[in-house]
Amino acid sequence: MQKLYIKTYGCQMNVYDSARMADLLVPLGMTPTDDPADADMVILNTCHIREKAAEKVYSELGRLKIVKQTRARAGKPTVIAVAGCVAQAEGEEIIARQPAVDIVVGPQSYARLPQMIAEIARKGGHALDTDFPAVAKFDSLPEAHGGVGVSAFLTVQEGCDKFCTYCVVPYTRGAEYSRPVKDVLDEAMRLYDEGAREITLLGQNVNAYRGEGPSGEWSLATLICALAKMKDLRLRYVTSHPRDMGDDLIEAHRDIAALMPYLHLPVQAGSDKILAAMNRGHKAADYLRLVERIRAARSDIALSGDFIVGFPGESDEDFRATVKLVEAVGYASAYSFKYSARPGTPAAAMAGHVPDAAKNARLQELQALLTRQQAAFNQACLGKTFSVLFERPGRKKNQAVGRSPYLQPVHVENAGHLIGRVADVVIEAVLPNSLKGALRQEVPICPNP
């Protein structure tokens, strides 16, 4: 038996990919471990989105090099692989910077991992694959092998054709690709059979999904309608681009109860000048109109977003426009980042880079506002009844922890028997990072859960 340690950075797609890599290595006799010192093989599944994310990988590799040396002294070899977006973006440079790395494998080449492992075992040295092969990634990856939680991810679309000027994703994940409908439905069925009662459909631009279906191309909305036929299955999708928010998807939010009323719809900035420089392809007013239409379709929908402060050329006035947009929308939660220049992206070569002090001040102000909005949103949940999907036991006896439709963790007493099921919960207290609730009615214990 060999032990496998995977550390995942970045977005949910990396979480999904890490699980697929683990599945791929099961036939090689590898079982997961949480301890890198115990691992015969270590995979870092990396993120290149901001400089800090990429640099973290090198400090981790420095630590792993020492682990590898210690293990070698005890006669135990260790294979270190770097996967994900840093692997794709930096390729051989990674091995030059950290020779303890044995394998560098980009997100489109995971299916080749077993071969690469065999190759270095046979010949020694390093193995590198950062091609975008003609064979579709998903056709060559194995199906999920157990370990599926109550809430599961399912990648339906990968890659991005939007080329926002700050972003590395179109380069690290390649062009937009949608998986065929049948493959998605089959995988959803398998996840369901293994106990998943919530599926989050993943894609870098998931709402640009255009999958080959039984009768022509399916949109994300068509796919959601089909998946919603599965009993007691909740659905989510992430991440969406405002430009791809089709009428049918907005209508799906109105018509499909299984589709959770929570939408991650990043806008990045509120100034039209900056939105144009970012190549986002829409203006602030377009986004606000879109939000209005979505809310008209589903009044209880909550929004989350992503923001970048200090994009090249961003003036104080531009930043004020971002603040104004956030005030106008009112987010239930949001991520905000300081602009980070990424090698090879158009924005990195733009004039007007904003000094770090100004970026810090803007980020602080924006985050304070977003935190106030999130607190207000959570506070407004007090006394409401939510359908909660229970995911795991709580710390206290017979307590269970679930998620509200808005992804807030909810702690509930006397709910230990409800893992994997949905129940109505009245929210009784708002805690800093979660909610506390009570079952509205006693739910009968299911004899065959």
Residue 296 DSSP symbol: H
Please state the closest distance from residue 83 (CB atom) to ligand SF4, in A.
Answer: 19
Which helix or strand (DSSP H or E) is residue 154 part of? strand 151-155
Angle at CA 165, nearest 5°, toward 161 and 170?
30
Please state the closest distance from residue 49 (CB atom) to ligand SAH, in A.
Answer: 5
Interface with ligand F3S, residue 174, by CB under 6 A? no
Binding mask 40-59 for ligand F3S (x = CB under 6 A): -------xxx----------
Please state the closest distance from residue 88 (CB atom) to ligand SF4, in A.
Answer: 14
Nearest to 137 by CA among 186, 76, 183: 183
Q: Exactly one of 3, 14, 105, 242 binds ligand F3S (CB under 6 A); which one? A: 14
Find out whether 206 and 237 touch, Cβ atoms under 8 Å. Answer: yes
Nearer to ligand SAH, 78 or 333 (CB): 333
Please state the closest distance from residue 83 (CB atom) to ligand F3S, in A.
Answer: 10
Nearer to ligand SAH, 159 or 437 (CB): 159
How many helices (DSSP H) and strands (DSSP E) are in the chain? Answer: 13, 21
Please state the closest distance from residue 160 (CB atom) to ligand SF4, in A.
Answer: 3
Binding residues for ligand SF4, how many (CB under 6 A)?
A: 10
Interface with ligand SF4, residue 163, by CB under 6 A? yes
Q: Exactly one of 4, 6, 13, 103 binds ligand F3S (CB under 6 A); which one? A: 13
Q: How far apart are the C-alpha atoms of 350 and 279, rounded to whole Å?
A: 13
φ and ψ at residue 444, rounded to 5 degrees: -60, 145
Please state the closest distance from residue 277 (CB atom) to ligand SAH, in A.
Answer: 13
Residue 170 binding result from ligand SAH, ligand SF4, ligand F3S, none, given CB thresholds of 5 to 8 Å by partner type: ligand SF4
Residue 197: C-alpha distances to residues 148, 194, 227, 389 (Å): 10, 9, 12, 8
Binding mask 132-161 for ligand SF4 (x = CB under 6 A): ----------------------------x-
Interface with ligand SF4, residue 204, by CB under 6 A? yes
Nearest to 7 by CA among 42, 56, 51: 42
SS3 state of residue 325: helix
Stretch that binds ligand F3S, among 95-103, 138-146, 164-172, 307-315 (CB under 6 A): 164-172
Binding residues for ligand F3S, how many (CB under 6 A)?
A: 13
Which stretches of the chain bind ligand SAH, using CB under 6 A? 49-50, 166-167, 169, 204-205, 239, 241, 266, 268, 306, 308, 337, 339-340, 342
Here the tokens at position 194 are: 């293994």
Report 80-119 residues binding ligand F3S (CB under 6 A).
84-85
User: Euclidean distance between the first and final Cα of the chain, in Å?
Assistant: 33
- The DSSP annotation for 201-225 comes to EE-TTGGG-EEEETTEEEEHHHHHH
Please enumerate in sequence order all residues whose Cβ is within 8 A of that of 121, keeping only pairs 6 or more positions apart, or say none: none
Q: Exactly one of 45, 78, 88, 205 binds ligand SF4 (CB under 6 A); which one? A: 205
Nearer to ligand SF4, 144 or 167 (CB): 167
Q: Where are the alpha helices (DSSP H) in 78-112?
A: 84-90, 93-97
Residues at the site binding ligand SF4, with contacts judged by CB under 6 A? 160, 162-164, 167, 169-170, 204-205, 241
